[in-house]
């Protein structure tokens, strides 16, 4: 990353931990931590409670993040849905 880009990331200089997506404090996260593994152009280190608040308020970057709660939900199997016969 270019020196100027490092200063702009998170509003200041990044530590090695932040640049790799794992802040030193276990109660903080890089927002967003992209699911595709790419670094976000604009990111911030936030507390887990802030992450949850942003998800409740439908923050526009949440669907691309590994911490997005909806990623943990598995869709029901088609046979478990009412009104659907299996194999049709």
Give 22-52 pLDDT, tens digit per residue: 678 899 999 999 999 999 999 999 999 999 9
Strand partners of residue 59: none
Is omega for the bond preceding 41 within 30 degrees of 0, making it cis? no
Q: Is 31 within 8 Å of 53 (Cβ atoms)?
A: no
HEC letters along 25-56: CCCEEEECCECCCCCCCCCEEEEHHHHHHHHH
78: three-class secondary structure by DSSP: helix
Name the pTM for this structure: 0.57
Residue 78 scores a pLDDT above 70: yes
């Amino acid at each position: 990353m270019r020196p100027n880009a490092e200063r702009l990331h998170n509003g200041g200089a990044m530590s090695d931990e932040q640049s790799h997506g794992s802040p030193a404090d276990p109660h903080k996260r890089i927002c967003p931590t992209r699911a595709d593994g790419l670094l976000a152009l604009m990111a911030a280190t936030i507390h887990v409670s802030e992450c949850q608040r942003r998800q409740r308020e439908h923050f526009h970057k949440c669907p691309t993040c590994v911490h997005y709660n909806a990623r943990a939900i598995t869709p029901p199997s088609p046979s478990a849905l009412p009104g659907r016969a299996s194999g049709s």
